[in-house]
Amino acid sequence: MRDRKGWIILGVVTALAFGVLLWGGAEIWRKAPPLPTAVVDSTGATVFTGAQIQEGQNVWQSIGGQQVGSIWGHGAYVAPDWSADRLHREAISLQSQGLAPEEVKRILRENGYEQNTGNLTIGKAR
């Protein structure tokens, strides 16, 4: 009788653990940032396409890039946070153009993604 109770507890704990893993995976999938179909400048000219973004991601993964840091901040224990580095460099560049810190902050926080077209529009300053 005691063995049966242990197996039931093990089964319940295992089912709950897998349930949490499935829920977490679904949330990660649901909240993943969109991959734009194209990145365009303020005049509408294509800077690069979604296929080029995907190709760059494939190259990054083929050389093991996902093992030495991250795009979204996870992995800072083992490598630099490349997104923070990119934003820092862009902020310095914008400030060197004579923009006030408040303007730099506004430009960097601006979301140019258009859900209906799938395009990401970047402003003239960027």
Domain ranges of the chain: 1-32, 34-121
> What's the average model confidence in pLDDT over 39-53?
93
Rounded Cα distance between 48 and 40, Å, is 7
Would you list the DSSP string of 63-110? TTGGGS-BSSSTTTTTS-BHHHHHHHHHHHHHHHTT--HHHHHHHHH-
What pLDDT sits at residue 1? 62
Confidence category of residue 61, pLDDT binned at 50, 70, 90: confident
Q: Could you tell me which residue, 71 or 47, shows the higher pLDDT?
A: 47
15-16-17-22 Cα dihedral, nearest 10 degrees: 90
Q: What is the pLDDT of residues 63-115, one digit of tens each?
A: 776 666 555 555 556 666 677 888 999 999 999 999 999 999 999 999 999 99
> What's the average model confidence in pLDDT over 117-126?
89
What pLDDT sits at residue 80? 66
Query: Mean pLDDT score of the chain, rounded to an integer?
Result: 87
- Tell me the β-bridge partners of 53: none
What pLDDT sits at residue 89? 94
Residue 59 CB partners (closer than 8 Å, separation 6+): none
